[in-house]
Structure 1
Amino acid sequence: MPKVTAKMVADAAGVSLAAVSRAFRSDSALAEDKRARILRVAGELGYLTPSGRTLSRIATGTVSLVAGDLTNPFYPVVLEELSRRLHQQGRRLVLHAVPPGGSVDLVMQQVLDYRSDAAIVTSATMPSRLVRECRKQNLPVVLFNRVQLDARMLAVTCDNYGGGRMAAERLLARGCRRIGHVTGLRETSTHLERARGFLDALGQHGLAPACSARGEFSYDSARQAALSLLQAPDRPEALFCENDIMALAALDVARSLGLRIPQDLAVIGFDDIPLAEWGAYRLTTIRQPVRQMVAEALELIAQVRSGQGSEGTIRVLPVRLIERDSA
């Protein structure tokens, strides 16, 4: 079978050779719809870039980690644990970072070119086209701390719903009734499940959030959200923030406004990142079992590659409430 060339991709996609070259470079200026079309055609034809052909010869024994939010300290913790376990097994980890505002399509094409044994995807969703392409090339993909509506996807996640309930129940047990809510990214499964658990627990006590604002899972957005909530005349007496970074932002804002923690404001986060136990914060939070989640993800990969695993497996691991000083 003749080797697929860049010219063949260009002809099939109806673009120039230069456009094909730019489509495989993350730093190039190219319309996203054109890039997606070129990558789709390249995948259908089985085209490999020259760098991809070289990398595919050295990639045996590697696992690719596709990460889209390395500014969140939770994901470097995952990276460290995954790297440690793979090193123990004599295997390699390759990090593929989705640039801010960038598309996972380009990064996943790089993973396919690299010919890793498997990929673990965090903080990003997989378009259906990419899911099909990974299956076509026999690349096991495990979503980490994410799930999506695809009956054949592999995923490992914590009990986000149960964690949301735990947060609400802890604040209610403390006697709080005016409880605010700082939410994450709207379309992510982590936000949807954490919010659902939190709202269900409040609803069972005949309550709803006293106020809410979008924090987008980021420190800067959460600072603005917390300012708007805590400067209101009827400010809440407690906040549930859907991740720790947002909770730390809320604590910083509360102290800048002269509020005492937890006497004037109780705060609960989610993840239990290393910063959460620092003396300046002592954040009460919901702990994700990172070590167990990484182990489960690697086990799923091993089962699929040996032919013993099944598609459509989602493993949900229990979370723990970690009591510190903020609630």
Structure 2
Amino acid sequence: MEIEKEAITSLDVARRAGVSQSAVSRAFTPGASIAADKRERIIAAAEELGYRPNPLARSLLRGRSNIVGVGVGYLTNPFFTQTLQLLSDALDGAGLRLMLFPAQGSTRPEPSIHEILHYRIDALVLLSVSPSSTLTEQCRRAQVPVIHYNRTTPAQDASCVVGDNETGARAIAAHLLAGRHRRFAFMAGTADSSTNAQREAGFTEYLAERGAPAPIREDGAFDFDTAMAATRRLLLRKDRPEAIFCANDTMALAAITVARHEFGLDVGREISIAGYDDVPMAAWPGFSLTSYSQPAAFMVAETLRLILSLRTDADRHEQVVAQGSLVVRGSTRPVGA
């Protein structure tokens, strides 16, 4: 009588191949010790029966799921799209799998605690998501290490991988001042964002140190449509700014769109617009956006390093600060112009 595929187990394979159940387990475990002829006999029996090992069940027997949860709040931001691709590839190369937890929207301000604990993830990476104290405590109790990506946290039991936001913002301020601008604006992201706060502080403080006026402030919420509306408000002012620094590239691309197509301004001559992250779209000729780059590949590599280290030493926490660089393109006035 043929065994139904849905009922097939490693014990069925062992019986068909005439070996022990542990031999079947070794045959499907990379690097495990087993004779070549025995492995071939087991694989043949498994193919005949239609057996497929369950990697999740096998990993849980060893006390790990090999799944890394990733909570992301801004899937529309190209920087995080790029990060997710790099992180997925890096985890795959390490034998780990990524499970995405969307964390945006009024009904879901953070990844679901129930889902995180249900899947017994080995670590949780938060991409610009500010966790509540409840989420942090639940992860601590479940012994799930948390890594904050592109955000800092005051928590002592969490690790961070961030860009050098204040240095980047100061570099943008220096560049805009060198272009002989006199009126500045800062387009902010969300109020709870540590990256936004650091970029705003660096930009504003550098201007103040050089005797320049404080920048006009508008909220763009890291969102394209919101940033378009914020740009309209800025450009309708009597004291319209000559230079706008947006806290990320998504808002800067929106600002360029409005300035150029709604107000007919020559971006890079009549008004300068700079962003932050240096996403791939920033280099497109239609935008040619001056931006401060964040080294996503390095940041992802450091995130993977932390994930692997925390799996063996959950009490070891680090804050990694990645150095970026100013990328000058046509959206800002040349130095000394």
| Band the TM-score falls in, shorter-chain normalisation | 0.7 to 0.9
Q: Which amino acid aligns with 1:294?
A: V
Report if aligned partners of 1:243, 1:269 keep a CA contact under 8 Å in 2: yes
What is the aligned counterpart of 1:208 among 213, 234, 240? Answer: 213
Q: Secondary structure at the match of 1:65?
A: strand
Aligned residue in 1 for 2:89: 84
Matched, 1:195 2:200: yes
Matched, 1:305 2:311: yes
1:57 offset after TM fit, Å? 5.1
Gapped runs of 5+ residues in structure 1? 1-52
Q: Secondary structure at the match of 1:150?
A: coil
Q: Which amino acid aligns with 1:266?
A: S
What is the aligned counterpart of 1:108 among 92, 109, 113? Answer: 113
1:157 offset after TM fit, Å? 0.5
Q: Secondary structure at the match of 1:208?
A: coil
Aligned residue in 2 for 1:41: none
Matched, 1:158 2:195: no
Report if aligned partners of 1:239, 1:266 keep a CA contact under 8 Å in 2: yes
* Structure-2 change in CA distance of 1:179 and 1:99 (3 Å): closer
What is the aligned counterpart of 1:294 among 295, 300, 304? Answer: 300
1:99 offset after TM fit, Å? 3.9
Aligned residue in 2 for 1:257: 263
Aligned residue in 2 for 1:14: none
**For 1:1-327, what aligned pairs fall within 5 Å after superposition?**
60-104=65-109, 107-255=112-260, 256-307=262-313, 310-311=316-317, 313-327=318-332
Report if aligned partners of 2:166, 2:199 keep a CA contact under 8 Å in 1: yes
Which range is displaced more, 191-200 or 53-62?
53-62
Report if aligned partners of 2:208, 2:214 keep a CA contact under 8 Å in 1: no
1:284-314 residue CA offsets vs partner (Å, 9 max, x unmatched) = 0011111111111111121121128613x21
Q: Secondary structure at the match of 2:112?
A: helix
Q: Which amino acid aligns with 1:117?
A: D
Give the Cα–Cα distance (whole angstroms) in 1 for the partners of residues 258 and 184 of structure 2. Answer: 17
1:149 offset after TM fit, Å? 1.8
1:108 offset after TM fit, Å? 3.2
Give the Cα–Cα distance (whole angstroms) in 2 for the partners of residues 55 and 266 of structure 1. Answer: 56
Give the Cα–Cα distance (whole angstroms) in 1 for the partners of residues 215 and 198 of structure 2. Answer: 19
1:56 offset after TM fit, Å? 9.2
Gapped runs of 5+ residues in structure 2? 1-55, 333-337
Q: Which amino acid aligns with 1:282?
A: S
Give the Cα–Cα distance (whole angstroms) in 2 for the partners of residues 124 and 320 of structure 1. Answer: 24
1:233 offset after TM fit, Å? 2.0
1:179 offset after TM fit, Å? 1.3
Give the Cα–Cα distance (whole angstroms) in 1 for the partners of residues 118 and 283 of structure 2. Answer: 41
Aligned residue in 2 for 1:7: none
Which range is displaced more, 160-169 or 104-113?
104-113
Identity of aligned residues (%): 35
Q: Which structure: larger Rg?
A: 2
1:44-96 residue CA offsets vs partner (Å, 9 max, x unmatched) = xxxxxxxxx99995972121111111111111111000011112222211111
Normalising by structure 1, report the TM-score: 0.79
* Structure-2 change in CA distance of 1:90 and 1:310 (3 Å): closer
Report if aligned partners of 1:222, 1:246 keep a CA contact under 8 Å in 2: yes
Q: Which amino acid aligns with 2:188?
A: T
Report if aligned partners of 2:276, 2:291 keep a CA contact under 8 Å in 1: yes
Task: Could you list the structure 1 runs, at least 4 aligned residues long, displaced by more than 6 angstroms after superposition.
Answer: 53-56
Q: Which amino acid aligns with 1:324?
A: R
1:259 offset after TM fit, Å? 0.6
RMSD (Å), alpha carbons: 2.0
Which range is displaced more, 75-84 or 298-307?
298-307
Report if aligned partners of 1:146, 1:190 keep a CA contact under 8 Å in 2: yes
* Structure-2 change in CA distance of 1:181 and 1:273 (3 Å): same
Report if aligned partners of 1:244, 1:273 keep a CA contact under 8 Å in 2: yes
1:88-121 residue CA offsets vs partner (Å, 9 max, x unmatched) = 2222111111242233455233112101111101
Give the Cα–Cα distance (whole angstroms) in 2 for the partners of residues 326 and 99 of structure 1. Answer: 30
Normalising by structure 2, report the TM-score: 0.77
